[in-house]
Amino acid sequence: MGMLEKLEYMNSGEASPEEVDQIVADMRARTQESMRITAELNSAYHMPEEVRGLFSELTGEEIDESFALFPPFTTDYGRNIHVGKNVFINSGCRFQDQGGIYIGNDAFIGHNVVLATLNHEVAPARRARLVPAPIHIGNRVWIGANVTVLPGVTIGDNSVLAAGAVVTKDVPNDVIVGGVPAKIIRRLTEAELSATNDDRA
C-alpha cells in the first residue's frame, strides 16, 4: 500500500488506532530519511551525476541521465515523486509529495516552485486530518518562478504557468495561465505549437 492509499485508509474511519499509529510512524521515518538525503544534496557541491544519484535514492526510482536539478531542493517524503525524461528543476523548489507528484517529459520547473499534495480538513475539530491528492504535470510544461500548485491539480501538455501564479484548478493543454488564483491568459498560437528547435526567430 502506497502512502496515498495509507492516508486515504487512515481517513476512512476503517483503520484501527494501531494501524493509524503505524502509518504515522512510517511517514515520520520516511520524512527523516528524506531530510537526510536532501541535507546531503544541499550541503555541498555535487557533480550532475551525483545529483541524479541522490535524487534516485530519494525517490526510490532510476532517474534518466537527461534529468537535471539545481540545489537547494527539499521534500518531506520523496518516494512519491515520479519524473520523466529531460526534466529540469531549478533551485529552491519545495515538493510535498505524499499525495503523489508526476512530472512528464521535457518539463521545466523554475526557482522556488511549491508543489503541495496535502490539504487539511477545514472543520477545526478535524483539521489534523491530512487530505492527499496528486499533482500531474504534463509533457513540455514550463512552470515559472515562485509558482504554487495545490493538491489535485493536473497541468496539461505544453502549458505555461506564469511566475507567481497560484494554481488551484486543472490547466488544459496549450495555454498560458497566471495570477492568484491562476486564470487562462491566452492559448498558445499555432505558430508556437508547430515551431521546432531548429527554427530561428
Catalytic residue set: 120
Buried-state track 123-147, b at ≥16 Cβ within 10 A, e below 16: eeeeeeebbbbbbbbbbbbbbbbbb
Which position has the grid cell 477545526? 124
132: three-class secondary structure by DSSP: strand
Q: What is the DSSP string of 63-83?
A: --TT-EE-S-EEES--TTEEE
Pairing type for strands 175-178 and 183-187 reads antiparallel
